[in-house]
Structure 1
Amino acid sequence: MTIVRLGYVAMSMELTNASPSKTMTFAQFQKQEDREAAIRKLERIALENLENTFRLLKHNLFNDIHFYRFSSRLIPSATHDELAGWDYMKPLKGKLSELGNFIEEHQMRVDFHPDHFVVLNSPKKDVLINSVNNLKMHHLLLSGMKINPTHRCVLHVGGNYKDTAKSLERFVENWSEIPLPIQKMIMLENDDTSFTLEDTLYLCEKLEIPLVFDYHHHLAFHRNPNWENDWDRVVQTWKASSLPIKMHISSPKSEDKFRHHADTVDVDMFFTFLHEIKGSVPQIDCMIEAKQKDVALFTLVEQIKERKDVEMIDSSTFYLK
């Protein structure tokens, strides 16, 4: 049997006033007459985001949810060039330590999915530098929580720039400029417009990076529809990781908006995937990428409970028979 564990992304649709992504744009920052007061405001917003993250983790604990993706917008404008020298970690140390202790105590799996502007195969040096700086912030946050950063950040390959082969090779070239601690943090995901499962596997096998398989993305964009033929290769990219294999699950909003995420997950679509991989791994962690966030998870679990091919372990985890 395979253990399947469900998680969700960043926000709760059930908790009120619990956004972990409150912000102040740099344009708003510039309008403040007192720079130091403006920085203190940024720090207060970051602390509020971390406090709301703590509320979300407690919500997850109450609902037996062991897998959660942090918001990548916990610290507003943290890596902006004009704020270089701001030690944004200093006022957050106590709260980060508290979060880390809670996560360790309850054995939760947490990670990040940095924003789309983090592009490691960019031909522009400044974009690469800014991307690495953004990833360093993620590394600092994980380290501040005393969480091992290894395999905690999911990235897309990046831009296609109208030449897939050259864009893949540029990723390899740029990889040599990425600091080793950042390299170790990365997982790669196939996307729905530029890099197929096979493209992403090429990089993951060459550079020893775990591959996070996005089933919906594959259905939207592939050269070979039979992903099952490459599943063993996907599994092998995780052989050196201490974490269970991870995948993303979402459903199309509609036929004409196939790439857009629906509010919830189509349970039959999900189990089409699960029955193909059943028994190939002891455990798989499935990150739900649906508009209704935790409510999508709760809705999916209620549908799963009605099935005869599962045995529930708790409110977000089950055996696939």
Structure 2
Amino acid sequence: MTIIRLGYVAMSMELKNASPSKTMTFAQFQKIKNREAAIRKLESIAQLNLQNTLRLLKHNVASRIHFYRLTSRLIPLANHEELLDWDYMKPLHAKLIEIGDFASKHQIRIDFHPDHFVLLNSPKKDIFKNSIKTLKLHYLLLKRMGIDPTHRCVMHVGGNYKETVTSLERFIDNWMVTPRPIQKMIMLENDDTSFSLKDTLYLCEKLDIPLVFDYHHHLVHHHSNWEEDWDRVVQTWRHSPLPIKMHISSPKSDKEVRHHSDYVDIDMFIKFLNVIKGSIPQIDCMIEAKKKDEALFKLMDEVRTKANVEIIDGSSFFLK
């Protein structure tokens, strides 16, 4: 049997006024004439984001959800070039510890997925430098929470730049100058336009990086049957302290196949699970659906109607 655990991304459709991604643009920051007052405003927004994150984690515990993706927008303008003198961690320290302690106490797996502008294979040195800076922020947030950063940050390979092989090799070159603590934090995901499962496996096997299999992306952009490479995907996790992770979502429509639907197609999901069941003891499935936790609850309701499952709790089940 294989244990399946479901998680969701950042926002809840059930909790009101609980966004963890409230922000301030630099233009808004500049409109506050007193710079210290502007920084205090930033800190106030960040504190609210962290407080809402804690609310979301409490909601997850009440709903028996053990897997959650933090937003990468917890601290607005944290790495802005005009605010490099701002020690944003100091006023947020206590709240970060509280979040980390709560997640650890209730054994909630949490991770990040940085925005699309984080490109480790960029040919432009300034973009690569800024990408490392952004990844360092994620690393420091996890460390302040007291959470082991190992394999907590999933990202895409990067830009294709109309040359797949060259772009893959540039990732390797740039990886060699990426700080080791950040390397250990990274997981790679196959995408829906540039780097297929086989492309991503090439990097993951060469550099010893876990591969987060995105089933939807593979169905949209593939060069092979994923089943023939599943054992290779599993092997990329052999040194990880965490269970194998995947992404699950469904196409919005036949015409908009790359866009995520509000919910997950249960038949599509079960079809995948029936292939991999028994190959691994556990898999954590991050739902990337527009309806967030509502999509998780709906999927669990549909899972309960299937004959070959045994429900564990509000977000987990055995596939027999």
Q: Please give the TM-score of this superposition, normalised by the length of structure 1.
A: 0.99
CA distance in structure 2 between the aligned counterparts of 1:213 and 1:179, rounded to whole angstroms: 25
CA distance in structure 1 between the aligned counterparts of 2:9 and 2:280, rounded to whole angstroms: 23
CA drift of 1:29 comes to 1.0
CA drift of 1:263 comes to 0.2
CA distance in structure 2 between the aligned counterparts of 1:70 and 1:26, rounded to whole angstroms: 23
CA distance in structure 1 between the aligned counterparts of 2:308 and 2:266, rounded to whole angstroms: 13
State the superposition RMSD in angstroms.
0.5
CA distance in structure 2 between the aligned counterparts of 1:260 and 1:292, rounded to whole angstroms: 13
1:301 corresponds to: 300
Report matched runs for 1:189-208 at 5 Å.
189-208=189-208
CA drift of 1:192 comes to 0.3
CA drift of 1:177 comes to 1.2
**In the TM superposition, what whole-angstrom CA distance separates every residue of 1:263-290 from its partner, at most 9, and x where no partner exists?**
0000000011101100010000000000
The percent of aligned pairs where both chains have the same amino acid is 71
**In the TM superposition, what whole-angstrom CA distance separates every residue of 1:82-108 from its partner, at most 9, and x where no partner exists?**
111211100010001111111111011
CA distance in structure 2 between the aligned counterparts of 1:315 and 1:274, rounded to whole angstroms: 18
2:288 corresponds to: 289
Q: State whether structure 2 residue 148 is matched by structure 1 residue 148.
A: yes
Report matched runs for 1:168-207 at 5 Å.
168-207=168-207
**In the TM superposition, what whole-angstrom CA distance separates every residue of 1:160-202 from its partner, at most 9, and x where no partner exists?**
0000000000000000111000000000000000000000000
1:267 corresponds to: 266
1:232 corresponds to: 231
Moved over 6 A (4+): none
**In the TM superposition, what whole-angstrom CA distance separates every residue of 1:226-281 from its partner, at most 9, and x where no partner exists?**
10000000000000001000000000000000000000000000011101100010
User: Residue type of the partner of 1:78?
Assistant: A
2:58 corresponds to: 58
CA distance in structure 1 between the aligned counterparts of 2:15 and 2:49, rounded to whole angstroms: 14
1:93 corresponds to: 93
CA distance in structure 2 between the aligned counterparts of 1:77 and 1:245, rounded to whole angstroms: 33
CA distance in structure 1 between the aligned counterparts of 2:35 and 2:275, rounded to whole angstroms: 56
User: Residue type of the partner of 1:13?
Assistant: M
Q: State whether structure 2 residue 207 is matched by structure 1 residue 212.
A: no
CA distance in structure 1 between the aligned counterparts of 2:116 and 2:167, rounded to whole angstroms: 16
**In the TM superposition, what whole-angstrom CA distance separates every residue of 1:141-163 from its partner, at most 9, and x where no partner exists?**
10011000000000000000000
CA distance in structure 2 between the aligned counterparts of 1:255 and 1:92, rounded to whole angstroms: 45
CA drift of 1:31 comes to 1.7
CA distance in structure 2 between the aligned counterparts of 1:130 and 1:25, rounded to whole angstroms: 18
CA drift of 1:78 comes to 0.5
Q: State whether structure 2 residue 110 is matched by structure 1 residue 77.
A: no
CA distance in structure 2 between the aligned counterparts of 1:118 and 1:68, rounded to whole angstroms: 21
CA distance in structure 2 between the aligned counterparts of 1:108 and 1:198, rounded to whole angstroms: 31
User: Residue type of the partner of 1:264?
Assistant: Y
SS in 2 for 1:130: helix
CA distance in structure 1 between the aligned counterparts of 2:295 and 2:4, rounded to whole angstroms: 16
Report matched runs for 1:3-14 at 5 Å.
3-14=3-14
Q: How many residues align?
A: 320
- Which segments of 5 or more consecutive residues in structure 2 lack a partner in the other structure? none
SS in 1 for 2:285: strand
User: Residue type of the partner of 2:170?
Assistant: R
1:315 corresponds to: 314
1:246 corresponds to: 245
CA drift of 1:80 comes to 1.0
**In the TM superposition, what whole-angstrom CA distance separates every residue of 1:117-147 from its partner, at most 9, and x where no partner exists?**
1000000000001000001100111001100
